[in-house]
Chains A and B, each alone.
Chain A
Amino acid sequence: MTKTKKTLLITLGCSWTFGEGAGCEKGMNAKEYEKIRYSSEYAWEFGWRRYVVEHFDVDHVNLGESGSSNLKQFHYAKNYFLSSKFANEYKSYEHIIVLWGLTTLRRTFMYFKDSKMYENIYLEEGNVFQTRWNTSRDKMTKAIYRYCYDDDVALRELQSDMLHWNQYFKLYPKIKNFWYDIFGSKDYTTKIRNLIDGDKPKRDLLYRICKDHLNSEIEKWKLDIYGLESREKYDPNFLDKYSTCFGYAGEHELVNPHSFHPYKTGYKFIGDYFIKFLTPHIENGL
Chain B
Amino acid sequence: MFLITFGDDWTLGSGVWYKPGMPKIVYENKEPHYDDSWRIIVRDYLGCQDNHINFATSQSSNQRQFALAKDYFNSKKFYDKRRDEIIVLWGLTTTRRDYKWCSDSRKYEDIIFKEKYLDRNNKDKLGYGLNKWSHHDDVATKELETEIVHWNIFFKALGIKNYWFDSFNSKKYTIRPSNFFDIRSKNRDLLSLLCIDHAMNKREYYEGWAGGPMNYALNNRIVNPHTFVPKKEGHEVIAKYIIEKIS
Chain A residues in the interface with B (C-beta under 8 A):
75, 78-79, 81-82, 110-114, 136-137, 139-140, 143-144, 146-150, 153, 157, 160-161, 163-164, 167-168, 171-172
Q: Are B125 and A143 in contact (CB under 8 A)?
A: yes
Which residue, of A81, A112, A167, has the highest number of chain B Cβ atoms within 10 A? A167
Contact status A78-B74, CB under 8 Å: no
Give chain B's interface residues, CB within 8 Å of chain A.
67, 70-71, 73-74, 100-104, 122-123, 125-126, 129-130, 132-136, 139, 143, 146-147, 149-150, 153-154, 157-158
Contact (Cβ within 8 A) B154 A171? yes
CB distance from A188 to the nearest CB of B (A): 14
Give, as a whole number of angstroms, the nearest-CB distance from B88 to chain A. Answer: 15
Q: Are A164 and B73 CB-contacts (below 8 A) given A82-B150, A136-B134?
A: yes
Cβ–Cβ contact B103 & A111, under 8 A: no
Residues in chain B near residue A140, CB distance under 8 A: 129-130, 133-134
Residue contact A148 to B146, C-beta cutoff 8 Å: no
Point out the residue from B122, B126, B133, B136 that lies within 8 Å of A136, measured CB to CB.
B133
Partner pick for A111 among B101, B139, B150, B157, CB 8 A cutoff: B139
Q: Which residues of B contact A144 (CB under 8 A)?
A: 126
Contact A139 B70 (CB under 8 A): no
In the complex the two chains form, what is the Cα distance from A254 to B135 in whole Å?
A: 41
Q: Which of A143, A160, A161 has the most CB of B within 10 A?
A: A143
- B interface SS class: helix
Which residues of B sit under 8 angstroms from A113, Cβ to Cβ?
133-136
Query: Provided the pairs A143-B126, A160-B71, A171-B154 are in contact, do residues A149 and B136 lie with their beta carbons within 8 angstroms?
Result: no
Residues in A with CB closer than 8 Å to B101 are 148, 150, 153
- Asked if B126 and A112 make an inter-chain contact with CB atoms under 8 angstroms apart, the answer reads no
CA distance A110 to B130 in the complex (A): 10
CA–CA, A157 to B101, complex, Å?
Answer: 10
In the complex, the answer to whether B126 meets A78 with C-beta atoms within 8 Å is: no
User: Which 3 A-B residue pairs are closest in the complex by CB-CB distance?
Assistant: A171-B157, A136-B133, A147-B122
CB-contact partner of A112 in B103, B134, B150, under 8 A: B134
Closest to A83 in B: B149
Sample 20 A-B pairs with CB under 8 A, ordered by A number.
A78-B146, A82-B149, A112-B134, A113-B134, A136-B133, A140-B134, A143-B126, A147-B100, A147-B122, A148-B102, A148-B126, A150-B103, A160-B71, A160-B74, A163-B70, A163-B74, A164-B73, A164-B74, A167-B74, A171-B157
B73 neighbours in A (Cβ, 8 Å): 164, 167
Contact A160 B136 (CB under 8 A): no
CB neighbours (8 Å) of B67 from chain A are 157, 160
Residue picked from A112, A146, A148, A164, most chain B C-beta under 10 Å: A148
- Known contacts A147-B102, A148-B102, A171-B158, A78 near B134 by CB under 8 Å: no
Q: Which residues of chain A are within 8 angstroms of B158 by Cβ–Cβ distance?
A: 171
Q: Known A-B contacts: A78-B146, A136-B133, A143-B126. Give 13 more (CB < 8 A).
A: A75-B146, A81-B153, A82-B150, A139-B133, A140-B130, A143-B125, A160-B70, A161-B70, A163-B70, A164-B70, A167-B73, A171-B154, A172-B157
Cα–Cα, bound, A78→B125 (Å)? 29
In this complex, which of A143, A147, A167, A168 has the most chain B Cβ atoms within 10 angstroms of its Cβ? Answer: A147
**Complexed CA–CA distance, A157 and B73 (Å):** 14
